[in-house]
Structure 1
Amino acid sequence: MDRGTPDGARRKQLTIDVRRTEAGAVVTPAGELDHHSADTLRGSLEQCLADGVRRIVIDCSALEFCDSTGLNVLLATRLTAESAGGQIHLAAMRPIVARVFEITGAGSVFTVHDTLDDALAALPAD
């Protein structure tokens, strides 16, 4: 381990891409979702909901890591969306991320799709 490297240099910075679709929005976090970056995703998801988006697909294909803080952001967003009549779907999880959902049981409260296309096809158009 290189002790001279700042902690932040070893982590893959989280970026968020949001694109609107006919049925809602696709939010694609890329990098590591952890206690350092969870607010970035939280802000993007809250903005979608504030803009009236009720159906959100979170494309996990570029998500390299997710810790409990990131998981809590997703769980809280699901509750907020569902209380407003919306839905949160997860798509294309890498095995390392899927494992967190499996271990915690969180996968059972989300609708999880193998691919982004499958998730988008499952959303009804407004």
Structure 2
Amino acid sequence: MITVKNPVLDVFEKWLSNMQSIKGITCSMQKSAIPNKYPYSNIYMMGAPGNKWDLDGNESAIIPAFQVDSYAKGQKALSKAYEIDNISHQAMTEMGFRRTYGPEQIEGSDKTVVRVVSRYNRLYCGESF
């Protein structure tokens, strides 16, 4: 029986409020291929496996994991993608997440688009952010 609420919507709302400080950015919580508008960033949950259970078998802690992709195109695209990642990183660490991967630039088929990837996780027991 799951007793810890999945925090995906709460994380997205708090992350989005930080990301809106970036002029002209489009944000999503869907895993997507290549966006059609830049700058762009998406966050999606990679999973939330259980971590602790009580003696009755009720889940009492999960470890939600998220990936954030930051995209930019045009002049200074690399520095813009890292700037987006930095703002995203601040939002995630404010919610108690730690970066477990990245930031790493990932090459894609369109060489004019820069993509930077970071992954995060944390122990979550249902407390609010």
Flag whether TM exceeds 0.5 (same fold). Answer: no
More helix by share: 1
Q: What range is the shorter-chain TM-score in? A: 0.3 to 0.5
TM-score by structure 1 length?
0.33
Q: Which one has a bigger Cα radius of gyration?
A: 2
More strand by share: 2
